[in-house]
Amino acid sequence: MHAMSNPSCQQIVVVKNEKGLHLRPAELMARLAMQYEATVMVTKDDQSADCKNMLSVLTLGAVQGTQLGLSAEGPDAAEALSAVAELFEAGFHELDAE
């Protein structure tokens, strides 16, 4: 029976890059999330955004140091979640670009 249910996973991430969750990271995240079937949501306080929707991610206004919740639901939820979490962990590859 339980094989039918869509697994869901959650993780807390912190925005590390200096400029926060601006256009470029939002685009990177959307492009990455679209490679997965799972729905990946990012949550700040009581606002949620679909990672595949760049504009809704931008409306979160997440600045450097913001703690966000990531959650994923779907057949490849675990992979999608860890991929998006790694992007946050890497500071959207902006940390080394001065």
Supply the residues annotated as catalytic.
22
Instruction: Indicate the angle between helix axes 77-89 and 23-33, nearest 10 degrees.
Output: 160
Q: How many whole angstroms separate alpha carbon 72 and alpha carbon 77?
A: 5
Residue 13 is inside which H or E element, if any?
strand 8-14
Q: What is the DSSP string of 49-82?
A: EETT-HHHHHTT---TT-EEEEEEESTTHHHHHH
Q: What is the bridge-based pairing of β-strands 47-50 and 39-44?
A: antiparallel
